[in-house]
Amino acid sequence: MDRLSRSAFWCSGGEGRGGGGEGGSRLYAVCLFCCLCLSAAVVAAQTAGAPVARPPPPMYASNPTKGVIDSSLYYPADAQCLMAAIKKFATAVIVRDRTKAATLLRLVFHDCMTTGGGCEASILSDGEINNPVNADLKRVVPDINTIRDQAGRECGVLPTLADTIARAAAAAVTFTGLNDVVSSGFQLGRRDLAPNQPGNEPTTLPNENQSLDAILTLFATFGLTAKESTVWAIGGHSIGVADCAHFSSRLSNVSTFPGCLRPADPTLDPSLACRLARQCSIQDIRLPFDFVTPFSLDTSYFQLLLKKQGLLKSDQAFSAHPRTSAFIRQYATFPGLFSGDFLKAFVKVSLFNVNSPQTAPPTQYYYP
């Protein structure tokens, strides 16, 4: 049987199930006509040597709403493909080097939470990535570009860099133990920083010497409550490492040497200070925030804070501040509360100022 008669056979089978009669033969005629048209179209496409025609790129929204996913950026089936593909290729990066999960998570924080900016991939701009604050994020920039390219090739459609950064961080969150943020409402649809825009000021990010009041005030400008700030910051620091430079001033006090007996920072547990001082004296290295489960996004760092074993002064402050100490105790005591709250905070942060007037629609939809 050739293709046409096979199609006609299938059509008549449909008629039989439909009960036959006059309606049946009309259906047969229509069906046969369709089959003929379809076959003709297939033959035409084959002779032209062209694959099935792709629709034109989507009509991008001209004025997307700030802070809201722009659903005009991808056709739905393409968004679905990219969601899975970015996760797959980001996970492959983390499997090769599991320390990159933390760096990818920190990358989305530094992309999304600079004052005046949002999740628009401005972190990759020269002004931001070359700032010393972001020095340790540089190592995953090539990975972001690779993941984007691989996902683009697999789906035939290029994701934006902002979506790649956010989804790669989401993959890191899943790899280190939580559910896929898609189950908490995570979506793709972030435009990238417009080419003529300079990016934002990385020094507006918090640093470890700031008071917790200042940090909470800063996070409040992004709409984070004290509770959300707690789960986001201390949850974030339940994976990854910090350079001794960020905490060595807490360790020893020349006038009370050896510093491990009486740390310069009285909010630090002396036995931990002793160990950190010893490790940092060998060479300038990076040490884990959560030395119990450094590769798990979990509540063990909350528990360490209750024992004065936080690495940064600003982390430790969360367990003493009247606006946050109850939350540290809550997550430390009831780990089951953590996962859902962290994922909700992640989704909220990953929407900060998305599609602001500083962003532009993509110049290329199809890969390459």
Ligand X SMILES: *[C@@H]1O[C@H](CO)[C@@H](O)[C@H](O)[C@H]1NC(C)=O
Residues that bind ligand HEM (CB under 6 A): 102-103, 105-106, 109, 136, 206-208, 215, 232-233, 236-237, 239-243, 246, 286, 312, 314
128 is in an annotated binding site: yes
**Residue 255 binding target from ligand X, ligand HEM, none, CB below 5 to 8 Å by type:** ligand X
From the list ligand HEM, ligand X, none, pick the one residue 236 interacts with, judged by a Cβ distance below 5 to 8 Å according to partner type. ligand HEM
Of the candidates 5, 145, 256, 281, which one interacts with ligand X according to CB under 6 A? 256
Distance between CA atoms of residues 215 and 323, nearest Å: 12
Select from 150, 197, 253, 296 the one that contacts ligand X (CB under 6 A). Answer: 253
Tokens of 20: 């036959």
- Give dist(CA 99, CA 121) in Å, integer: 21
Could you tell me the two tokens for 133? 């604050």
Interacting positions 258-297 with ligand X (CB under 6 A): 264
Kindly write down the DSSP assignment for every residue of 261-326, as one continuous string.
TS-SSTTS-HHHHHHHHHHHHHSS-EEESSSSSTT--SSHHHHHHHTT--SSHHHHHTTTSTTTHH
Is 298 marked within a binding site?
yes
What is the rounded CA–CA span in Å between residue 152 and residue 24?
A: 46
Helix 76-96 with 100-112: angle, nearest 10 deg: 130
Per partner kind, with CB cut-offs from 5 to 8 A, the member of ligand X, ligand HEM, none near residue 215 is ligand HEM
Per partner kind, with CB cut-offs from 5 to 8 A, the member of ligand X, ligand HEM, none near residue 329 is: none
**Which of 72, 88, 278 lies closest to 174, judged by CA?**
88
3-state secondary structure 219-263: HHCCCCCHHHHHHHHHHHCCCCEEEHHHCHHHCCCHHHCCCCCCC
- Bridge-based pairing state of the strands 359-360 and 241-243: unpaired
Site string for ligand X, 59-98 (x = CB under 6 A): ----------------------------------------
Measured in whole angstroms, how far is the alpha carbon of residue 169 from the centre of its chain?
Answer: 3
Check whether 2 is labelled as a binding-site residue: no
Q: How far is the CB of 209 from ligand X (least distance, A)?
A: 4
* Ranges within 100-159 binding ligand X (CB under 6 A): none
Q: Is 246 a catalytic residue?
A: no
Cis peptide before 56 (omega within 30 of 0): no
Active-site residue, selected from the candidate residues 110, 167, 190, 313: 110
Stretch that binds ligand X, among 47-55, 78-86, 225-233, 247-255 (CB under 6 A): 247-255
Q: Contact, 250 vs 313, CB < 8 A?
A: yes
Give me the least distance between CB of 295 and ligand HEM, in Å please. Answer: 10
Residue 300: name its binding partner from ligand X, ligand HEM, none (Cβ under 5 to 8 Å by kind): none
| SS3 category, 330 | helix
Q: Taking the alpha carbons of 267, 270, 275, 280 in that order, is the dihedral positive or negative? A: positive
Choice between 132 and 368, CB closer to ligand X: 132
- Annotated binding residues for Ca(2+), written as ranges, equal 111, 118, 122, 128, 290, 293, 298
- Annotated binding residues, written as ranges, equal 111, 118, 122, 128, 206, 237, 290, 293, 298
- Annotated binding residues for substrate, written as ranges, equal 206
Catalytic sites, residue numbers? 110
Q: Which residues bind ligand X (CB under 6 A)?
A: 207, 209, 249, 253, 255-256, 264
